[in-house]
Chains A and B, each alone.
Chain A
């Protein structure tokens, strides 16, 4: 592929009317051997991420880790405060009275797991990202409303501007756009 084109073009974007058409187009792109493919939809479409070969998100492991950190650190904080830093004898009850530490441990577990879920989701998705080349296409504003987009990036090894355009046009989209960098 010619270097001048690759420098100017970020990818080629095709607009579809329905999630079913997009799903079919995505499968065709995968079987045609494209690997750097992205799909944009106004709501989560089931099976779309699978057809892009994206199955492991890393979110569950992250949330579990967050929960574990919250649980252990919450409990240890209470243990250390009540037994070492500021021991108070209340009616001869043990300083390490673990049942009383459960509610706060639970709350810190949930808090850390929730923070990991949200920040992890944003971080892995690379958000916030104020600029992205697809926003250069005016029609792309329908991606958050009622249109479905398939995007083949120019960094794909199989990418060739003319060929890829033709491939996408054969999928019967409403329109195909070249996306500048």
Chain B
């Protein structure tokens, strides 16, 4: 690189490294799946994740045998870790849809190399999230009672309840995310089918590619359908976490009954989701040598989105406390002071430290472009967002209107094992995805390469 180029590179790092051609991009991404030796770190990572997943299976079996009494739930705190983890996982999923849909509509070219695994992350996070309300039902075999169907009992769901809205929102979100992800994969399945030299792999990728030939007419319909899906997914992703927040906000409980909840939850979801994308992208690009595709530009842009959404979350904390005080309602004021100075105060201040304190580091370009520090910041944000949901769920419930019913909530071993088990499930799925599917959209990288070459620079939409 000449000095002139270097100085330009420090100003705007390109979205794709120099010296790549259509075949080198195709080769590099598809070889991870088809020909490269699977790195040792993959085996180690998968073994750990798979081990944790066994903990999930044990926890589920024990829960089904013994009942939800094995959790630390009690009467004021009937929503414990199950709901905390549900909201946490759903929130993490949001970044995937945001990257693939909203950034597509905004014509942000840099989304291309991170959208595929962010979408996969969404799917797996929603799968983990979905487990918790189902298991929390106590009798998960009757989960279909949540759906409107003509039963012999003549009973129908109560459509005025946000809990029923939640069923529709999350199941629609899971379905649309799966469709979006699969549609994006079809042309890449065709590439893998055509490059694979193994008969078995060829057949599997061939079936999944559904006979995709790359016809110009097909591409035209494909692009239109994909764009419309993005347009549909954008309001959907906003609606999902808004509906999740309605579970709380529509109730009359102090600390939950707040109009700021929907936007504050959506911002929190984006914040935690981008933190998770960074947590995953940083090790992945190092292990698989993808620094040319996931460049510092991507890393820094994601850090910027974390900062913006994190600031909205801080505003949410501020307004929660402010309305609690300004409303002048005894119980609202009590809930706020109980959060900050009650028995769960350490959790509350840890949350403030993680989400309000550490996030401010992202103002500095030095931090945003330092990969190891950013990795730590992202991990801290993941923890902070978990604490936020814990504070919202538990502190509002444990001291309710009647002091005689006050109680403390302490998660048991089985609460934690289920939570860590879903982390195992999430990473197991993610490792399998990395091994068997292209983690970067190959055809979009080819298109991006062509656009970058014909424009001379990648900054047209910056």
Contacts and interface: CB of A to CB of B under 8 A. Distances in A.
Q: For the side of the interface on B, what is the size category?
A: 35 or more
Contacts of B157: 81
A117 B225 contact: yes
Nearest to A143: B214
B195 A145 contact: yes
Contact of B239 (A58, A59, A100, A106): A106
B245 to A, nearest CB: 12
Contact of A107 (B22, B154, B169, B447): B169
Nearest to B164: A104
A118 B218 contact: no
Contacts of A48: 216, 219
Nearest to B234: A110
Interface in B176-213: 176, 179-180, 182-183, 187, 190-191, 193-195, 206, 210-213
Contact of B214 (A41, A52, A60): A41
A127 interface: yes
Contact of A60 (B224, B232, B243): B224
Contact of A57 (B159, B175, B206, B224): B224
A130 interface: yes
B191 to A, nearest CB: 4
Nearest to A64: B228
A39 to B, nearest CB: 4
A130 B207 CA distance: 8
A101 to B, nearest CB: 6
B109 interface: no
The residue in B176, B219, B221 that gathers the most chain A C-beta atoms within 10 A of its C-beta is: B221
Interface string A40-78: 111111001100101001111001000000000000011
Specify the main secondary structure of chain A where it touches its partner: helix
Interface string A111-145: 10111011011101101111110110000011111
B97 to A, nearest CB: 12
Classify the secondary structure of B's interface with A: helix
A145 B26 contact: yes
A111 B176 contact: yes
A30 to B, nearest CB: 12
Contacts of A3: none
Contact of A134 (B164, B213, B225): B213
- Looking at B160, B175, B195, B210, the one whose CB has the most chain A CB atoms below 10 A away is B160
Contacts of B224: 57, 59-60, 121
Interface string B148-185: 10000011111110101100110010011001101100
Nearest to A39: B216
Given A110-B176, A144-B191, A85 B156 contact: yes
B220 interface: yes
A38 interface: yes
Interface string A16-52: 0001000000100000000000111111110011001
A75 B218 CA distance: 34
B206 A130 contact: yes
A54 B165 contact: no
A63 B228 contact: yes
B161 to A, nearest CB: 8
A156 interface: no
Contacts of A93: 160
Contacts of A100: 159-160
Given A59-B225, A115-B179, A104 B168 contact: yes
Given A42-B443, A100-B160, A134-B213, 12 more contacts: A40-B215, A42-B191, A63-B228, A86-B155, A101-B159, A106-B239, A107-B165, A114-B229, A125-B217, A144-B187, A144-B194, A145-B195
Interface of B: 21-23, 26, 148, 154-160, 162, 164-165, 168-169, 172, 175-176, 179-180, 182-183, 187, 190-191, 193-195, 206, 210-225, 228-229, 232-233, 235-236, 239, 243, 246, 443-444, 446-447, 450
Interface of A: 19, 26, 38-45, 48-49, 52, 54, 57-60, 63, 77-78, 81-82, 85-86, 88, 90, 93, 97, 100-101, 103-104, 106-108, 110-111, 113-115, 117-118, 120-122, 124-125, 127-132, 134-135, 141-146
In the A-B complex, the 4 residue pairs with the smallest Cβ-Cβ separation, listed nearest first, are A128-B210, A141-B194, A121-B225, A129-B211
